[in-house]
Amino acid sequence: MRTWLLLFLPVMGALVLAGCTHSSGASAQPLPRHLDPEFLRGMTFAHEGYRGNNGYGGATTGPSLDSLKGLNVNAVAIVPYTFMREMRPLDSLPIPDRVGSETDEAVIHCIRQAREQGFTVMLKPQIWVRGSWPGEIRFEDEEGWNRFFAAYRNWMLHYGKMAAAEGVEALCIGTEMVQATLGYPEQWRSLIASLREVYPGKLTYAANWGEEFENITFWSDLDAIGLNSYYPLSMEEQPTDAQLRAGALRWMRLADSISVAYDRPLWLTEVGYRSVASAWQNPHAEAGDRPVSLEAQERCYAALAEAVRSSSRLEGMFIWKWPSYLGHREGRDDRNTGFVPGGKPAGEVLTRLYAPAPRAASVTPSL
């Protein structure tokens, strides 16, 4: 969910400020009250097992999944991590095996719990880079890159086979790997072809907002275009609601245009806002010393909801994020500056957005 704001702020800042000179950008036609019954009303279900018993496969996973139903969530992204300690050539990416980590047994248990509770599942393996983020993965020469892609292929095929065996509906083949995707698109096309030999479900990729999302060239090889959307809604300190809506509508129109160009549906593989002051400026950023602001988070969610309803290309979204312990309790602490919407006014906005149409209340999304 990381990004380098300095790369994109001048362009996006100008776009956002330009948008403040006109109205909220409301559509000429009334926006639909309800999302399509098949829409993926998703949440990233994050492994947070810091006490060894409350991550994937722990005692709290089932109740935490169940609490998502109160938000009308019908799909979850399950996110097992591997770890890179430093930027150097490697021959393998480790599968966690420590108690309390995202072991295969824990991930499979979580997948089964989610599916038993009626959720559509997207498996979304990611790389955690110590002191950095996946967008900065790079190597000095082609040998380093070739070794990395060989290791990455084996690692992703492992999860592709797991997803196939467990009936997982969607697999996200990578997240925010800016240097790797923009520099080596043919490696990704080859990986996609290999995954299709072992996994029959939908494939997507979670692109970082800005440069990566707007310049990937292999979208047509996938089943859906994935965007981790942390575009600023406004760079103003005190924007109006109309300005926030205009900012959200602007990036949604951009995403829609890429979806049209590649003739693939759009998924927001990540989107979210902290309950912190000025949450609309840099949605990806750490809270730092900014004070809690439930109102700022709520206003961002309201702008997001209008943008979501405006899109004719969007078929699903996954809010960042919800922990594998009882996340609804976390949201009741007014000192919390995290992304979790539960127990906060933002959660009420999300619940209304995700509400099914009266006749579609029992529909399970299909991919």
Tokens of 166: 């467990």
What's the pLDDT at 357? Answer: 84
Residue 289, helix vs strand vs coil: coil
pTM across the whole model: 0.89
Q: Where are the domains of the chain?
A: 28-357
Q: Which fold has domain 28-357?
A: TIM Barrel (3.20.20)
**Cα–Cα distance list, 201 to 105, 165, 265 (Å):** 21, 11, 15
What's the pLDDT at 27? Answer: 38
Tokens of 245: 């809506």
Residues of the chain with confidence (pLDDT) below 50: 2-28, 360-361
Distance (Å, whole) CA 123 – CA 173:
9
Dihedral sign for Cα atoms in the order 288, 235, 231, 28: positive
Contact 279, 297 (CB under 8 A): yes
DSSP string, 201-220: SEEEEEEETTHHHHH-S-GG
Write out pLDDT tens, residues 31-61.
777 899 999 999 999 998 766 678 998 888 9
